[in-house]
């Protein structure tokens, strides 16, 4: 990720692609299984569907519990805002109308396999990062840049695990 000088209000984004030697349906099974995500992420430690749900659907909600050395521990409620099997799975964190972040997996059949893209946008709603910016407004651009770079690194780790699993790798992949 290169320095852009983005501020929180700019709605900065990160996208990480990976080509996977597996059909979209196999990749879809993995990206739409939120129970797998804590195994792929250094920050996300647990997830669970809410409202008696057992799987994804448009409007479904899930809670995620995360931990970061500098930010502490927190829980967020996410709302599935796009669910188009086997192409798009997206969710808004906290308020779906004014989310603290948006996350999306997009799958595209390509070259006999699947091009998988993980994308995220910070804001426009306030998040835990907003409090750090409130305390150090003169460092906002650096705070945003560092956090977006962390997201990019973590997304790469997530996609690496999904790729290994989809291509028939070990069932117990560590993040």
Q: pLDDT tens digits for 30-79?
A: 999 999 998 888 889 999 999 999 999 999 999 999 888 877 788 999 99
Give residue-wise pLDDT tens across range 134-147: 999 999 999 999 99
User: What is the pLDDT, as a whole number, of residue 170?
Assistant: 58
Question: Residue for token digits 């692609």?
Answer: 17
For residues 27 and 39, what is the distance between their CA atoms, to the nearest angstrom?
A: 16
Provide the token pair at 144. 């945003």
Per-residue pLDDT band at 29 (split at 50, 70, 90): very high
**129 CA to centre of own chain:** 16
For residues 120 and 123, what is the distance between their CA atoms, to the nearest angstrom?
A: 10
Burial class (CB within 10 angstroms; exposed 0-12, middle 13-18, buried 19+) of 154:
buried
SS3 content of the chain, % helix, strand, coil (to 5): 30, 35, 35
User: What is the pLDDT, as a whole number, of residue 171?
Assistant: 56
């Amino acid at each position: 990720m290169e320095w852009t000088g983005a501020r929180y209000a700019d709605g900065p984004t990160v996208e990480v692609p990976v080509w996977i030697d597996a059909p979209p349906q196999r990749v879809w099974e993995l990206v739409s299984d939120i129970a797998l995500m804590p195994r792929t992420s250094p920050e996300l430690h647990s997830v669970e569907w809410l409202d008696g749900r057992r799987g994804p659907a448009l409007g479904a909600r899930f809670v995620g519990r995360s931990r970061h050395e500098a930010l502490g521990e927190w829980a967020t409620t996410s709302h599935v805002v796009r669910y188009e099997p086997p192409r798009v799975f997206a969710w808004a964190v906290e308020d779906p109308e004014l989310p603290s972040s948006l996350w999306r997996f997009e799958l595209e059949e390509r070259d006999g396999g699947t091009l998988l893209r993980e994308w995220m946008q910070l804001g426009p709603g306030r998040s835990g990062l907003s409090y750090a910016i409130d305390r150090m407004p003169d460092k906002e651009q650096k705070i945003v840049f560092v956090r977006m770079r962390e997201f990019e690194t973590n997304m790469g780790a997530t996609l690496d695990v999904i790729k290994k699993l989809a291509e028939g790798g070990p069932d117990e992949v560590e993040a």
